[in-house]
Amino acid sequence: MNIPVKVETKNLSVSFGEVKAIKNISLMIPANKVTAIIGPSGCGKSTFIKSLNRMNELVKKAKTTGEVLLDGNNIYGEDYDVVNLRREVGMIFQKPNPFPKSIYDNVAFGPRIHGTHKKELLEKIVEENLKKAVLWDEVSDRLNASAMDLSGGQQQRLCISRALAVEPKVILMDEPCSALDPLATAKIESLIRVLSADYTVIIVTHNMQQAFRVADFVAFLYLGELIEYGKTKSMFENPKNELTEKYITGEFG
Amino acid sequence: MNKKILKQRIYFQIFRVVTASVIIFILLMIGIFITNGASAINWTFLTDKPREGMTQGGIFPAIMGTLYLTLLTIAFAFPIGVASAIYLVEYAGESRLVQVINSAITNLAGVPSIIHGLFGFGLFVTYLQFGTSILSGALTLFLLVLPIVISAAREALLTVPKSFREGSLALGATKWQTVRENVLPYGLPGILTGAILALARAAGETAPILLTATFFFSAGAPAVPTSLLDGTMALSTHIYYMATQHPNPALVRSLTYGTALVLLLLVLSLNLVAIVIRTRHRRRRNW
Amino acid sequence: MSRLLDAGLEELSAMLHRMGEFTYDIISVSIDESLHNTNVYARIQETSDMLVSMADNVEDKTFELIARFQPVASDLRIIKSYMKIAYDFARYGRYALDISYINQRLGGIGKCEAWIPQYIEQMSKKVLHMVRISIDSLRNHNTELAKTVSKTEQEVDKMYFEFLDRLTEKPHATNKCVISSVLIIRYLERIADHATYICEAVIYLATGEKLTLR
């Protein structure tokens, strides 16, 4: 690949006790592009994306082998700063999970945790990131309202601005639209395209059409293995692997 | 009429009667204490010390004793209990050892209070030579109420959704930052409720402090304790002494019932506070 | 497991098959008309118009399937190719009509110097063969058969240029014959081109490769 690589996995395998969730995945994810991970339920896509910011470690009995390189450094290496990793690699979850605090406090949460306390600076950060997530216009007059009063789509955009506020390099999204209605989904999808100019976006989705709409590269996982990976257009026009063809034309999954 | 509906009506009537009888029982109990004890309650009763061999005067020392004991107990139990709960829920994982610890805590809650008392007597009063004192009493009560505090705190923490923790960690917060900013604040009402219930329990216990902290009445000792190593009177034990050790129980019946009424009111109001906190929290909770 | 899309694809396939058979028929008839000076213009016109409207229907159906089902991979290539092929079939019809029109205007080539109708008959046999290949390879998505069109395509090309050479060398033919035969042979050559396009589309739909068979 002649585009700069942001994240690379080398022989990445993750197992939970006896169960092997992902087996030997080696993948190069390009910088400042949108890469989608698709596959039927249970193929390991959630596990894969969670291993990119070591969130898998929150699950008991999770065992990871292989390497994940962020800008060339193995995030599973000894002495790697996990806490800082999660700053650089942000995550948006399937079900929007705003904190039951005000909209302002949600976005300010990250910066505060990392030591920013000056009011003017925080206000600037909150406004900037709410604008980046295309939420500012809808909430600028009620920043102190509870985040729980927002609609599902707004909550998800709030989670996105919250993640952006800590200045990540990579944004992971685990089926970010599956709990949202089509209009909210469309807004998030166009936001994803805009974000990819400044961040590397990796999105897991079970909706192939979504993957084809937003992604530059698509990886197809099946039963924990990487089956095919390539540019979106070649994936949906002429997949090389028969399994890929069967999945995307809807013969199974 | 339809047989099924008739059956249902009969059952519901039975349930109503049973529920009513419980409430009636409670009202009866309160009623008995009020009728027999209300006459004894006046300002002197609450602020004076006992006189004329407990046949006159008040229960002020007992009130103070109960207050000191319960506050000291909570001073030990609250921080240790909450810290343990935080450790168990947020840090400890789910290994076999942790499961054993959790069941040990539950079992500790089931130990009869007299046994707590005997243990306290053996360890604090005798072995550590604290003697019959507030310190021994509070430490004994501490062991008794600790499981309550830990269980309530655990429940409160477990109620906080996992997604809050995940969201916080995913932003690069450490575990402690996550607990401090995103878990504890939301679990606090539940923790407080547990603490208050523990307070109420400590205030009402008799057997443990009987063996470790209290005396009936001693002419020489100060009635209201001035140091941790002083023994004390307490409401619950005072009732016991007045009803069984007094030379003339019949004479002091209204005083006894009066003491019981005070203790009852104290415990009931503590429980009420706990319920109010719990209800307000549930109503205001938006997650 | 049959998907919703499959019914749509079958329908398209059936439409194209019908179109194919019409085109073979219409081209043979128009050549025949040139060689034997008959008049079947009306019939050819009717069929040609029908082919144009069938191509429109195929286009409509294609877009309907795309809007509804967002097809991908082989489904997408099939639909893309079917639309192109329908257009090519409609072109077959148009060229047949053009040949017939020339026949009506200038009287056909049956009465010209013997070598001219003979040549054209020979070339038309090859061209019809190519048309046959295009229709048959489409029916079964038969890429091997589609590739064989290449050989005949080269022969037809050669014959086309040779004819032009011979015509310039032999000035005995009448104006009418010269003009008719040149136009007819030109239309035949174009029909051959479209047959090749159809075969290339068949290969693309089956394998995703964009080959040139010319």
pLDDT in tens, A152-190: 999 999 999 999 999 999 999 999 999 999 999 999 999
Strands, sheet with A225-231, edge to edge from the N-terminal-most edge strand: A89-92, A170-174, A200-204, A34-38, A217-222, A225-231
The distance of B164 to chain A (nearest Cα, Å) reads 6
Q: Which residues does residue A225 pair with via DSSP β-bridges, in sequence order?
A: A222
Distance CA C149, CA A152 (A): 58
Asked if residue A82 has pLDDT above 70, the reply is yes
Interface of A with B (CB under 8 A): 53, 55, 58, 60, 83-87, 90-91, 93, 95, 97-100, 109-110, 113-114, 146, 148-149, 159, 162-163, 166
Residue C56 pLDDT exceeds 70: yes
Q: Residue B110 is encoded by which pair of tokens?
A: 């089931």
Q: Which two tokens stand for residue B72?
A: 């000291």
Residue whose structure tokens are 């990540």: A168
- Return the amino acid letter for C41: Y
In a domain, A63, yes or no: yes
Q: What is the pLDDT of residues B182-206, one digit of tens each?
A: 999 999 999 999 999 999 999 999 9
What residue numbers bound the domain in which B161 lies? 41-284
> pLDDT digits over B154-173, tens only?
999 999 999 999 999 999 99
Which residues of chain C approach chain A closer than 8 Å at the C-beta?
A: 1, 3, 5, 70-77, 208
In a domain, B144, yes or no: yes
pLDDT tier at B249 (50, 70, 90 boundaries)?
Answer: confident
B140's enclosing H/E stretch is: helix B134-159
List the structure tokens of A192: 């994803």
Which residues in chain A have their CB less than 8 angstroms from residue C74's CB? 245, 249
Residue B177: beta bridge partners?
Answer: none
DSSP A127-187: HHHHHHTT-HHHHTT-TTSBGGGS-HHHHHHHHHHHHHTT--SEEEEESTTTTS-HHHHHH
What is the number of CB-based contacts under 8 A between chain A and chain C? 32
**pLDDT > 70? residue C67:** yes
The answer to whether position B135 is within a domain reads yes
> Which residue range(s) make up the domain with A20?
5-248
Hey, what are B90's tokens?
Answer: 């947020």
Q: What single-letter DSSP state applies at residue B90? A: I
Integer CA distances (angstroms), A188 to A142, A157, A166, B112, B262, in order: 21, 7, 20, 60, 63
Which residues have a Cβ under 8 Å from the Cβ of C36 and sit 6 or more positions away? C108, C110
User: Is residue A177 a contact partner of residue A188, using CB atoms and an 8 Å limit?
Assistant: yes
Burial classification of residue C89, based on how many CB atoms lie within 10 Å of its CB (0-12 exposed, 13-18 middle, 19 or more buried): buried
CB of A36 less than 8 A from some CB of C: no
Please, are residues B85 and B157 in contact by the beta-carbon 8 Å criterion?
yes
- The span from the CA of B234 to the CA of B236, in Å, is 6
In this predicted structure, what is the pLDDT of residue B44?
A: 77
Task: Give chain A's domain count.
Answer: 1
**Residue B174: its chain A contacts at CB < 8 A?**
83
3-state secondary structure (DSSP) of residue A38: strand
Is A101 a domain residue? yes
Nearest CA in chain B to A100: B287
3-state secondary structure B177-205: HHHHHHHHHHHHHHHHHHHHHHHHHHHHC
pLDDT of residue B120: 93
Q: Which two tokens stand for residue B149?
A: 């505090």
pTM for the whole thing? 0.85
Give the gyration radius of chain A's Cα atoms. 18
Closest-CA distance of chain A to residue C139, Å: 21
Stretch 200-239 of chain A: residues touching chain C, C-beta under 8 Å: 208-209, 212, 236-239
The reply to whether ipTM tops 0.90 is yes
Q: Which residues of A touch B181 (CB under 8 A)?
A: 109, 113
In a domain, B13, yes or no: no
Helix, strand, coil shares, percent, chain A, to 5: 40, 25, 35
**Which residue of chain A is at minimal alpha-carbon distance from C79?**
A237
At the second CATH level, the architecture of C4-207 is Up-down Bundle (1.20)
The answer to whether the CB atoms of A237 and C73 lie below 8 A apart is yes
Per-residue model confidence (pLDDT) at position A180: 94
- Which of A232, A244, A248, A252 to probe by mutation at the C interface, max C CB count within 10 Å? A248
CATH number, residue B204:
1.10.3720.10
Q: Comparing A85-89, A191-195, B140-144, B235-239, which segment has the lowest mean pLDDT? A: B235-239
Q: Has residue A253 been placed in a domain?
A: no
Average pLDDT over chain C reads 92
C-beta separation of B100 from B83 below 8 A: no
Q: What secondary structure letter does DSSP report for A4? A: P
* B12 within domain boundaries: no
Residues B152/B195, Cβ–Cβ less than 8 Å: yes
Residues of C in contact with A246 (CB under 8 A): none
Q: What is the domain count for chain B?
A: 1
Would the pLDDT of B4 be above 80? yes
**Pairing of β A73-74 and β A217-222:** unpaired
The closest of B96, B83, B286 to B176, measured between CA atoms, is: B83
Flag if A250 and C74 touch (Cβ within 8 Å).
no
Q: Alpha helices, DSSP H only, in chain C? A: 4-36, 41-69, 73-106, 115-140, 143-147, 149-169, 175-207
Query: Does residue B251 carry a pLDDT above 80?
Result: no
Give the separation between CA C14 and CA C59, rounded to whole angstroms: 14
What pLDDT does A31 receive?
A: 96
Q: Which of B212, B84, B237, B213 is nearest to B148 (CA)?
A: B84
- φ, ψ of residue C165 to 5 degrees: the values are -60, -50
A42: left (phi over 0), alpha (psi -120 to 50) or beta: left
> Is A9's pLDDT higher than 90?
yes
Q: Which candidate from B161, B172, B285 shows the least CB-CB separation from A83?
A: B172
Tokens encoding B101: 């610890």
Cβ atoms of B49 and B223 within 8 Å: the answer is yes
Q: Cα C50 vs. chain centroid, distance in angstroms?
A: 15
Map tokens 């015509």 to a residue.
C167
Closest C-alpha among B103, B102, B77 to residue B205: B77
Q: What pLDDT is attached to residue B223?
A: 67
Q: What is the C-alpha to C-alpha distance for residues B78 and A4, in angstroms, rounded to an integer?
A: 55
Q: Is residue A70 part of a domain?
A: yes
Is C77 in Cβ contact with A237 (below 8 Å)?
yes
Q: Rounded to an integer, what distance in angstroms lies between the CA atom of residue A171 and that of residue A93?
A: 11
Which of B94, B164, B172 has the CB atom closest to A113's CB atom? B172
* Contact between A40 and A247 (Cβ < 8 Å): yes
Please, which pLDDT band fits residue A1 given cuts at 50, 70 and 90? low
Average pLDDT value for chain A:
94
